[in-house]
Structure 1
Amino acid sequence: MTPTLPPASRVGRTALTVADLGTQTDFYRDVVGLAVLERSSEWAVLGADDVELLVLESAPDAGERHSRAAGLYHNAFRVPTRAALGDALGRIRGHWQLSGASDHLVSEALYLTDPEGNGVEMYRDRSRTEWPDAPEGQVRMATDPLDLESLAADAAGEGAAPAGTDVGHVHLEVADLATFRSFWVDTVGFRETTTYPGASFVAAGDYHHHLAGNVWHDRSGEAGGRGLSWFEVVVPGADALAALRDRVAATDAAVTSTDTGFETADHDGIRVRFRVEA
């Protein structure tokens, strides 16, 4: 039987390897709206309402991510209200440049790119009662235009991401979708909720997606260089973590213990850390 992650599983923190720690920290503070929770000469931890969401790891000598290497498409920071997304639009317009905006039916999303080329999404979910009908177990999404002026009019005027902001999902660039599904669905236990041409979206429970993989840019090499260092998947209990570790260990993936769980890598060399909900 195909394994299933507990419905309460979610994405935790993400980490980026960065060349310019100061510039990257300023961007995620001033544009994305995260608070700097901890900082040293080698790393910075940012979040919202004292909840850690993003770790920046300084590596000035790290090379740029190769144009064919797998890795990050975007980190997606989810805000709890439309007003908070309107505030995010204001920060982007005031300090940066918007690269895209979409109504996905289940959510409204803004897209931008950080100073080192990492994709960023900021979004808010619509209420589940507003999601369009879809076959059981599936989620219907689209990429429709987003009314930016309506969104701006709903802004609350707050300068930072509010309490309740989290990492809603992580979207990866991978070499092969069948291999992506083999690890993330057949081994980890996410279920596929929807597909686009060249992309697969997977989730725990009935969410639209906690993780996505796409082959839009013909990536064929393992992850490396600047960009995504690792991200977390958080499960609700020790039994779920132990079962997950057993499934991963039964494949050819290397498993390394951490203080809070374990770390491994998918077939594209993208590192993931699994831990129990605190």
Structure 2
Amino acid sequence: MTTPDSLPAATRVGRVALRVNDLGRLVEFYRDAVGLAVLDRDEGRATLGAGGTGLLELLADPDAPPRGPDETGLFHTAFLVPSRAALGDALARVRERWRLDGASDHRVSEALYLSDPEGNGIEIYRDRPRDEWPTKGGRVEMDTLPLDIDALEDQRRGEAGVPDETTVGHVHLEVSSLARARGFYVEGLGLGVRQEWSDAALFLAAGDYHHHVGLNTWNGRTAPANGRGLDWFELLVPERALPPLRERLAKEGIEGEDDGQRVVLSDPDGIELRLRADAGSRR
């Protein structure tokens, strides 16, 4: 359900940034196994993406310790491809160059799951047409069902990389408290609740998308992240929505750094969120 001060439906996920030990290895992995293009690279960082748009920032930090088992942070970065054929190509790349952790039919989407060489979770998925999404009471009804991956790979076209239309469809986070995270992302930012799974997961979105941000407490993590892994992620907000969003954040007592075009916040677990004006969207 949207309200006048909800985030506009045109809000979307921008870039995701990871702190990594071995920049060269991670660049090769995301290029060859995931299929992203290397857009820019120097000794300390690399930008990968699709169609000339950056989707993933890799930040070299050779001394960062592995993420601890109690640390909150990234569950997975979810790359959205535009077709079932593109998902079949992704499956073929992963099978050839890496290993698949799982595959699911979520009723709203079909998804592949894997982890990069430093343990960062990845989802590659395609959305089903919206008129096929099951809904009830204004919310989506996602599920986790088996996916026939052999039939999916039969749809592949043999493309070496992801299509230009590929985006980061959503970011899924591991948090210490759903109540506190809900206070920040729903009451604070204005994302809407699209589905709740018992008392352990929330799926949030701007507008009627199935989710832009996932939150879960499945692994009982309680400490802020100090090791490698998620450094920050972006939500791109239409320019006209930033002034009322600033007012909302101030009203909710959420403080951040604001340079006029970007607001940098920390959620209750210290996860950095960057709200950036999206000049390409005025809805």
Short-chain TM bin: over 0.9
Pairwise CA RMSD? 1.3
**Residue of structure 2 in register with 1:274 after alignment:** 275
**Residue of structure 2 in register with 1:162 after alignment:** 163
**Residue of structure 2 in register with 1:92 after alignment:** 94
**Residue of structure 1 in register with 2:197 after alignment:** 196
| TM superposition shift of 1:199 | 0.4
| TM superposition shift of 1:131 | 1.3
Partner Cα distance (1:241, 1:31) in 2: 36
**Residue of structure 2 in register with 1:42 after alignment:** 44
Aligned residue identity for 2:275? F
Cα shift readout 1:92-118 (whole Å, capped 9, x = no counterpart):
000000000000000000000000000
Distance 1:62 1:251, change over 3 A: farther
Aligned residue identity for 2:117? P
Question: Are positions 1:79 and 2:71 aligned together?
Answer: no
Q: Is the 8 A contact 1:253 1:266 kept in 2?
A: no
**Residue of structure 1 in register with 2:128 after alignment:** 126
Partner Cα distance (2:100, 2:46) in 1: 24
**Residue of structure 2 in register with 1:54 after alignment:** 56
- SS of the counterpart of 1:164? coil
| TM superposition shift of 1:250 | 3.8
After TM superposition, the score normalised by the length of structure 2 is: 0.94
Q: Is the 8 A contact 2:23 2:59 kept in 1?
A: yes
| TM superposition shift of 1:242 | 1.9
Partner Cα distance (1:69, 1:252) in 2: 25
Partner Cα distance (1:120, 1:13) in 2: 14
**Residue of structure 1 in register with 2:176 after alignment:** 175
Aligned residue identity for 1:209? H
Partner Cα distance (2:123, 2:46) in 1: 20
Cα shift readout 1:212-264 (whole Å, capped 9, x = no counterpart):
10000111111222000000001112x31122223223445441135731101
Q: Is the 8 A contact 1:76 1:168 kept in 2?
A: yes
Where structure 2 has 5 or more consecutive residues not aligned to the other structure, the ranges are none
Partner Cα distance (1:109, 1:233) in 2: 22
Where structure 1 has 5 or more consecutive residues not aligned to the other structure, the ranges are none
- SS of the counterpart of 1:142? coil
Match of 1:32 among 31, 34, 38: 34
- SS of the counterpart of 2:218? coil
Partner Cα distance (1:20, 1:247) in 2: 40
Structure 1 runs of 4+ with >3 Å offset? 249-254
Aligned residue identity for 1:16? L
**Residue of structure 1 in register with 2:104 after alignment:** 102
- SS of the counterpart of 1:47? strand
Aligned residue identity for 1:169? H
Aligned residue identity for 2:141? R
**Residue of structure 2 in register with 1:15 after alignment:** 17
- SS of the counterpart of 1:149? helix
**Residue of structure 1 in register with 2:150 after alignment:** 149
Q: Is the 8 A contact 1:3 1:187 kept in 2?
A: no
Percent identity between the aligned chains?
Answer: 52
Question: Are positions 1:63 and 2:65 aligned together?
Answer: yes
Q: Is the 8 A contact 2:110 2:127 kept in 1?
A: yes
Partner Cα distance (2:70, 2:171) in 1: 19
Match of 2:208 among 183, 199, 206: 206
Partner Cα distance (1:244, 1:259) in 2: 12
Cα shift readout 1:110-161 (whole Å, capped 9, x = no counterpart):
00000000000000000012212x2232001110000101100100110100
Partner Cα distance (1:72, 1:171) in 2: 6
Q: Is the 8 A contact 2:201 2:217 kept in 1?
A: yes
Aligned residue identity for 1:276? A
Number of aligned residues? 276
Bigger mean CA deviation after superposition, 254-263 or 77-86: 254-263
Partner Cα distance (2:155, 2:260) in 1: 42
